[in-house]
Structure 1
Amino acid sequence: MTDKKNPQLTQAELMAQFAELQVEVRRIAELSAQNNRKHEGESSKSSAQGNTDPLNITPPKEKLTLNNPFSEEITKYQMPKNFAQPSALEPYKGFGDPRAHMKKFQSMMFFNGANNEPVLCRAFPTYLDGATLLWFSKLSAGSISSFEDLARSFIDYFAPSRIYVHGSDYLGTIKQGQHKSLKDYMTQFAEATMEIQDLDPAVHLHALKAGLRPGKFRETIAITKPKTLEEFRERDAGQMEIKELREAQKTNKQLHRRDEDKTFRSNNKEPKKPFKLTLKFNTYTRFNTKRENMIKEILNAKIVKPPARAGNYQDQRFINRSKHCAFHQKFGYTMDDCIVAKDLLERLARQGDEHKQAGPDKNKKEQTTSDPPRGIISHISGGYAGGGETNSARKRSYRAMLAIEGTLKPKKEKHPDVTISFNQVDFRSASPNLDDPVVISIQVGELLVRKTLLDLGSSDDVLFYSTFKKTKLSEKLIQPFSGELIGFFGERVPIMGHIWLTTTMGEIPMSKSIDIQYLIVDCYSPYNIIIRRPALNIFKAVVSTLHLCIKFPVQENRVATVYADHQEARQCYNASLKQIQTKQGARP
């Protein structure tokens, strides 16, 4: 991870710093040599004249001006009046091939008319920057007498920068690939070869052939075997022309097909007829009151649902605002012009006539017949008890239940049946309110879990995610399960997964431990765990909501009893009521 305070330097910046360090090291070495020579001279003088105080010796000061490394002939040369330096060449900063920079500088200078060495020597420092300019400033005075000397000194000093230039081996890494066109491949290859100095044409051609992707063009090259780059480029140009021609033909065919489809559709299209409502009845009843008042009374009495307000398709500027339809709540026409309202009133009037003709006996008979139920309110369902995760699994479970029910006799168990009964002795609470939920404490694994609700009306044992986190168990133990729990009013809670946990009811020796499969859900609940029909059936437990206790058989045909905690049951019940009130208050 990159530190924000010390960002990573680019390769160019590193090379520039490296070059500056080289120049600085050489400068320090030269200063050290000069100081040594001066020190030797002074020591010889001091030996003759006597010892001097070292504190009085002043170090040499760094020179701030540039030395003139050119000879007297180059310095005194008068530059041409019409000479203009090339502006397209970027300064060399110590990164890249110095030979390439030198050749590019010479070619641009030749283009501008400068072909003598003094002009080249005096113009070259203007295209140096950073470490290279520092190098030039450290050249000794009068050391450059020709452009050849300057070029050789420049190339020798910055020769290490060439290690970052690609060689001929780099061409072997360029491949066409499956999604790259031949034109893009040739362009990339040409750009790479421009950076390689003295590239052998045979190596160039071999790498160009090896990078082609398998296909017809590669097979053609393998058969024809071009011996020069020119022959290969002729084959390549022909292949690209063929491909471009095919693409153009394909595009023209697609456009032609689209035009044909549009023409076919436009010819086969029948002109749309304007939509117009027609009257449903031949004759209409004459009413003593206005239709508008009757429609308002029908809507207020909620005999029919008001129609959805239709959109405005006409220009609102030309609509007559003096006319209004109370049924559709629109301007432009009155209630007498509204065909829908007119048909509605006629239909209601004819239904009223039919009821009158039916007679009083029929009406009495209809009143004594109760209306069928509008629906059925079921319990919370879903999960494993419903038969499985998918609809097909639940259907198979239901068909198997229908096929088995009534055909097989219940199996007799080896152990004798234990009679479980409740009597007056099982009443433990002095509270007059015995309608509280049955809330007990159970042991799950090594933890005692309070606020465990016993719910006989649901089909899945639920462990809430907040309780699971308190057990400090690894979430890797949760097995995936894709499904939802469906509540009384159709609300759906997604299931995170399921887990098997050892559950113990009662206290030793009157206790029983069984592995229970819990569904884990992440939602609010005042309870920690909800034990429902599957677990109660495994325990063979019987719950008495009247006595607020649960009984189940244990070893030696004995019956264990676990009583509910009335205080925790009342707290959980009050908390659930507050949650319901909060949700109702949040609704708009």
Structure 2
Amino acid sequence: MGDGVRWPTPPVEGQSWRKESKKKCEFHRDIGHSTKDCYTLRREIRCMYEQGELSHLLPRGGKQQDKASSKKPMTPATCTKIINVITGGSDLNGLTYSAAKRCATETKGDRADTSCRVSHSDLPTVAFDEEDIHDSQEHHDALIITLSMVNCTVRKVLIDTGSSVNLIMLKTIENMGFSEKDLQKKTIPLVGFSGETANSLGEIVIPTYAGGINKQVRYLVIDRPSTYNVILGRPWLHLMKAVPSTYHQCVKFPEPWEVEKVRGDQEEARGCYKKALKCTASPPP
């Protein structure tokens, strides 16, 4: 047990009652009680165990893993049917049905060929911990950030991992100094999760600064009432190699020098939610 334990004071020789006991404690180096019945020794062992000083004597490396090993994952329910959903993609990010089918065929035939893969070994690892949590209260807020686009600071930018395109509102680009003449005319049908369809007015490339990097980002322009100025989908996230976390309310970008972070604005997110409720509320009879 070494120096990590508080050893008791050595016994005083010459006490007559000690000679009458046949029990001996190795911890106290004295007689009167047995080692297995020594409460002082039990307290010292428990204290060292909680401090992790006895981890080398425990199976699987210590206290934390010993607790984890006692928990077993739940058994999944028996699968009775398989539901497949077939969806089309978008010409904007190359995810058309034919392109997806061709990509799947090439991937299946060239699983062993890794020569064309891009190496990201120089980039730091992106991780989230408790220090990233700005507000410890439980929430269900969307991830709303503020970005610099051209020479403008654009607020109410929604990070949406469910969107296959980057969207920007017509009113937003007009406030930035653009007009419909600056758009590349390209009408693309955009389908929402409930099946409603809206056609884009065109597309525009706008320099977007985030995480210490300025990227030329392509947006589809739509003329619809929205609580957001910009919706950034998977094309922008993959372009930036960004990892968002709605729980931690931030998005991180791995760069060669360090991991950059853009924090979300929860007050802005709740304001957008309240505005959306007002827009969708039916008028009183």
Structures share a fold, TM > 0.5?
Answer: yes
Show the counterpart of 1:462.
167
Equivalent residues of 2:124, 2:255 under 8 A apart: no
Q: Give me the whole-angstrom Cα distance separating, in 1, the residues matched to 2:166 and 2:248.
A: 23
Show the counterpart of 1:532.
233
Show the counterpart of 2:151.
446
Q: Give me the whole-angstrom Cα distance separating, in 2, the residues matched to 1:570 and 1:417.
A: 34
Equivalent residues of 1:381, 1:458 under 8 A apart: no
Residue-by-residue CA offset, 1:112-170 (whole Å, 9 max, x unaligned): xxxxxxxxxxxxxxxxxxxxxxxxxxxxxxxxxxxxxxxxxxxxxxxxxxxxxxxxxxx
Q: Give me the whole-angstrom Cα distance separating, in 2, the residues matched to 1:462 and 1:440.
A: 15
Q: Give me the whole-angstrom Cα distance separating, in 2, the residues matched to 1:369 and 1:385.
A: 34
Taking a change above 3 Å as real, the CA distance of residues 474 and 563 of structure 1, as seen in their structure-2 partners, is same
Q: Give me the whole-angstrom Cα distance separating, in 2, the residues matched to 1:420 and 1:566.
A: 22
Larger RCO: Structure 1 or Structure 2 (Cα < 8 Å, ≥ 6 residues apart)? 2
Q: Give me the whole-angstrom Cα distance separating, in 1, the residues matched to 2:142 and 2:217.
A: 22
Equivalent residues of 2:149, 2:207 under 8 A apart: yes
Residue-by-residue CA offset, 1:18-58 (whole Å, 9 max, x unaligned): xxxxxxxxxxxxxxxxxxxxxxxxxxxxxxxxxxxxxxxxx
Show the counterpart of 1:413.
119
Residue-by-residue CA offset, 1:500-558 (whole Å, 9 max, x unaligned): 0000014xxxx1110000000000110000011000101110001110100002342x1
- Following superposition, the deviation at residue 435 of structure 1 comes to 1.4
Taking a change above 3 Å as real, the CA distance of residues 369 and 550 of structure 1, as seen in their structure-2 partners, is closer
Taking a change above 3 Å as real, the CA distance of residues 369 and 500 of structure 1, as seen in their structure-2 partners, is closer
Answering whether residue 188 of structure 2 is matched by residue 488 of structure 1, we say no
Show the counterpart of 2:28.
none
Q: Give me the whole-angstrom Cα distance separating, in 2, the residues matched to 1:414 and 1:520.
A: 32
Q: Give me the whole-angstrom Cα distance separating, in 2, the residues matched to 1:381 and 1:458.
A: 11
Residue-by-residue CA offset, 1:460-512 (whole Å, 9 max, x unaligned): 00001111111112432200112210001110011100000000014xxxx11
Which one of the candidate residues 250, 275, 279 is aligned to 1:575?
275
- Following superposition, the deviation at residue 377 of structure 1 comes to 9.7
Q: Give me the whole-angstrom Cα distance separating, in 2, the residues matched to 1:525 and 1:466.
A: 10
Show the counterpart of 2:131.
425
Taking a change above 3 Å as real, the CA distance of residues 500 and 441 of structure 1, as seen in their structure-2 partners, is same
Answering whether residue 140 of structure 2 is matched by residue 435 of structure 1, we say yes
Equivalent residues of 2:241, 2:253 under 8 A apart: yes
Answering whether residue 201 of structure 2 is matched by residue 502 of structure 1, we say no
Equivalent residues of 1:386, 1:459 under 8 A apart: no
Taking a change above 3 Å as real, the CA distance of residues 517 and 428 of structure 1, as seen in their structure-2 partners, is same
Answering whether residue 218 of structure 2 is matched by residue 517 of structure 1, we say yes
Answering whether residue 101 of structure 2 is matched by residue 399 of structure 1, we say yes
Tell me the secondary structure at the aligned position of residue 452 of structure 1.
strand
Tell me the secondary structure at the aligned position of residue 482 of structure 1.
coil
| Aligned 1:107-506 pairs, distance under 5 A | 376=85, 382-385=90-93, 387=95, 394-406=96-108, 407=110, 408-409=113-114, 411-413=117-119, 416-430=122-136, 432-506=137-211
What amino acid sits opposite 2:265 in the alignment?
Answer: D
Q: Give me the whole-angstrom Cα distance separating, in 2, the residues matched to 1:546 and 1:402.
A: 33
Tell me the secondary structure at the aligned position of residue 203 of structure 2.
strand
Q: Give me the whole-angstrom Cα distance separating, in 2, the residues matched to 1:395 and 1:457.
A: 18
Residue-by-residue CA offset, 1:190-249 (whole Å, 9 max, x unaligned): xxxxxxxxxxxxxxxxxxxxxxxxxxxxxxxxxxxxxxxxxxxxxxxxxxxxxxxxxxxx
Q: Give me the whole-angstrom Cα distance separating, in 1, the residues matched to 2:144 and 2:131.
A: 19
Residue-by-residue CA offset, 1:235-276 (whole Å, 9 max, x unaligned): xxxxxxxxxxxxxxxxxxxxxxxxxxxxxxxxxxxxxxxxxx
- Following superposition, the deviation at residue 577 of structure 1 comes to 2.4
Show the counterpart of 1:328.
none
What amino acid sits opposite 2:278 in the alignment?
Answer: K
Bigger strand share: 2
- Bigger Cα Rg: 1
- Following superposition, the deviation at residue 384 of structure 1 comes to 1.0
Equivalent residues of 2:123, 2:256 under 8 A apart: no
Taking a change above 3 Å as real, the CA distance of residues 562 and 573 of structure 1, as seen in their structure-2 partners, is same
Which one of the candidate residues 244, 247, 261 is aligned to 1:543?
244
Residue-by-residue CA offset, 1:308-347 (whole Å, 9 max, x unaligned): xxxxxxxxxxxxxxxxxxxxxxxxxxxxxxxxxxxxxxxx
Q: Which runs of 5+ in 2 are unaligned?
A: 1-77
Q: TM-score when scaled to structure 1?
A: 0.32
Taking a change above 3 Å as real, the CA distance of residues 581 and 433 of structure 1, as seen in their structure-2 partners, is farther
Q: Give me the whole-angstrom Cα distance separating, in 2, the residues matched to 1:513 and 1:400.
A: 32
Tell me the secondary structure at the aligned position of residue 221 of structure 2.
strand
- Following superposition, the deviation at residue 372 of structure 1 comes to 7.5
Aligned residues: 204
- Following superposition, the deviation at residue 434 of structure 1 comes to 2.5
What amino acid sits opposite 1:435 in the alignment?
Answer: H
Same amino acid, percent of matched pairs:
30
Tell me the secondary structure at the aligned position of residue 276 of structure 2.
helix
Q: Give me the whole-angstrom Cα distance separating, in 2, the residues matched to 1:521 and 1:412.
A: 34
Q: Give me the whole-angstrom Cα distance separating, in 1, the residues matched to 2:120 and 2:265.
A: 35
Q: Give me the whole-angstrom Cα distance separating, in 2, the residues matched to 1:475 and 1:523.
A: 14
- Following superposition, the deviation at residue 574 of structure 1 comes to 1.6
Taking a change above 3 Å as real, the CA distance of residues 579 and 474 of structure 1, as seen in their structure-2 partners, is closer
Q: Give me the whole-angstrom Cα distance separating, in 2, the residues matched to 1:539 and 1:421.
A: 16
Tell me the secondary structure at the aligned position of residue 405 of structure 1.
helix
Q: Which runs of 5+ in 1 are unaligned?
A: 1-367, 388-393
- Following superposition, the deviation at residue 370 of structure 1 comes to 6.3
What amino acid sits opposite 2:168 in the alignment?
Answer: L
Tell me the secondary structure at the aligned position of residue 281 of structure 2.
helix
Q: TM-score when scaled to structure 2?
A: 0.65
